[in-house]
Every structure is written in C-alpha cells, then in structure tokens.
Amino acid sequence: MKPAIPCFRPVRETDLPALTDLVGRIADGLTTLPNDPKFLENKVHHCLRSLYPKINKPGDEYYLFVLEASPGGPIVGTSGLLARVGGFEPFYTYEIQTERQVYEPLGIDNSVDVLHLKRSHKGPSELCSLFLHPDYRRTGWGRTLSLARLLFVGAFPERFDREMIAELRGYINPEGKSPFWEAVGEPFFRKDYYTADILTGLGEKAFIEALMPRHPIYVSLLPPAARSVIGHVHRDTEAARQLLLREGFEGTREVDIFDAGPLIKGEVKRLRTVREAVRTVVEIGPRRPSGERPNAILARPSLDFRAIPAHIPLAGAPTGPAPAPLRISPEEAEALEVEPDDPIDYVFTRPS
C-alpha cells in the first residue's frame, strides 16, 4: 500500500467545520485564527475574495491554506499569508532602541535598551496562521506547511510586498502566562494575556492605541522575568524560527507588544525557496519507489494552488534556463490536479 500524499491547498467554504475543529485544538491560540466560528467563517470568505484573479498589487488580502492528510482527507494543518500588514488598522510592535547616557564628571557611560511603540501603515507582507495537528508532527509536514506558501508567493510576486515578516510567538511559562505581558500590558489593559491577544485577532485593536503606555519603556526598569524573555520564542516555535532563518529571514530589533516574541524579516526575492524554485512542465509516468523521505515540494502555480511533498533524485532534477520536464507519478499528478505539459514548480526543502 502506497503512503498517503498530503495536499496543501487554499481553504474552501466547505472546510469550515473541519477548520473550526482544528483551531479548537490549538492550546495557546493563534492571533490570526482565534477559536471563534463566526470569525473563522469571515476569514474563509476573506481568503476566497483575495483569490480574485485581477489583483496585481498587495492590499488587505489574506490567503489561508490547509493541509489535507491525503487528497480529500482530514484537514490537519493551516498556514497563511497577509499581503500587507497595517492598512486601515496600524500594525503595532515594540522597537528596541539603544540609548547612550554619558556623564563624564562621574565617569558614567551607559547604554540602555528602551522599548518604543511603533505603528506601521502599509507595511510588508507577513507569514502567519501556521499550525499542524500534534498527531502529525515529526513527519516533515510542518516544513511543507511553512515553505509551500513561499512557492505561492514566488508564483504571484505582484500580490506581495518586496519584504516579508514573521511574528514569532513569544515565551509562555509553564503556568501558561506571559511574564512580559504581566509586567507591561496587564497593568494598563486589566485583561489577561489570552483575552487581549484574542481581542486583537478578532479585529478589536482600538484599545491598543487607547491603553498602551504613551511613553518609551526602559527595559532595565522591568522585572527580571519580563526582561529575560524579550525576543525569546514560545517552546513550540523554535523549530519554525530556525527554518525561517535558514530561508534567509533575519532578526530585527522589533518584538510583539503582547508577549515580546521576536519579529524577523527577509527580502522576498532573496528567500531561498523563492530564489531556488524551478518552473518546468509535467511529465506523468511510473516512478520507481525510492524509499526515501520527501526532499522537495511540488506545486501547481495557479490561484487554485496545490502543493505536495515528494522525493526527487538530486542527480535527475531538472535545472537550467530551459529545464527538462519533471516526471511525477499518476498519484502525485492526481493530488496536484495536473495534466501532462501543465506548468509545475518544485524546490528542495533544504539548501541545494
């Protein structure tokens, strides 16, 4: 029996019950996918509108993808893209600025870090909404969830900004609390971390401008527990951070305003998956089973996007300015919904 082929594709309206069930399994919640059925329904409709074919520049589009365990099978993961952050509602971060304080008569020369609230309008594109069901982790599917969306960006660069960011989830202690939020946010908002985070996900952002501290915050004045987690990631996010850094994302001096998780960014055209992706055409025929784990992602470069993990022998991979057709199996062709001579993109999941 051949192993099932997981399939990555845009969300559909009929996915809503399965999506609601999957989101309900996210222990700590996702800001862009809060556990609210009506909100999720609106997100699905937002994605469907975003796939309108006449769009030729980034706006408020939101692209939500799901991963099926097999074509037509259960939905086990999600990942998303925001064409542009900001817009009608500003995008907030804390920017860490280092200030020098000098007093020569006493021989004092200090450098201190200060948090400045930053508001971005018409900002860069963003990776978001990444979640894989715990039962399917350590399968390599998380890599497909993260990287396949970059193949979509590479196929439709006009829909995205030249820069891409990712806000990584910040540190949460074993009691499920954010030390940074308890020191910086809760005294002003009078709400626990998860309530404030979900409100933001639901689009309630006016309270941020009204209640956030209006003056810079000196990091040295924060409790040690809050200082120590600035720029640190959630326990389940380190692997995703390492993956994106290998893709060409870089650290910044900005952190999330709620949990102080790091914000990383990269220039889209320099991201490895975008840069190394190869476009050729499909050839369908028997492929000898290699027994090897998938080392590449195959994608149909259309708005009705499809992507699957696959194994491509390194020596036989089509390359060059006019690459030869890529032979795929009938099962892979069925999952991608492609025919012979259809265009296909592929990229190895690790640096070539």
Active site amino acids = 234
> Do residues 81 and 153 lie in contact, with contact meaning Cβ atoms separated by under 8 Å?
yes
Contact 128, 63 (CB under 8 A): no
CA 156 to chain centre: 17
CA separation, residue 281 to residues 106, 297, 299, 339 (Å) = 72, 15, 11, 9
Tokens of 37: 């059925």
Task: Please choose, from the candidates 153, 144, 168, the residue with its C-alpha nearest in 3D space to the C-alpha of residue 307.
Answer: 144
Helical (H) or strand (E) element with 108? strand 108-120
* Contact in structure between 35 and 29 (CB atoms under 8 Å): yes
DSSP, res 181: I
Helices (H), 15-125: 16-23, 37-50
Grouping H, G, I as helix, E, B as strand and the rest as coil, residue 63 is strand
Residue that is written with structure tokens 């952050």 in the block: 85
The strand ranges marked E within 194-342 are 217-218, 250-255, 262-267, 278-284, 296-300, 306-310, 326-328
Q: Which amino acid is at 293?
A: R
144: how many CB neighbours lie within 10 A of its CB?
25
| DSSP annotation of 297 | E
Residue 343, number of CB atoms within 10 A of its CB: 14
**Structure tokens given for 346:** 């592929």
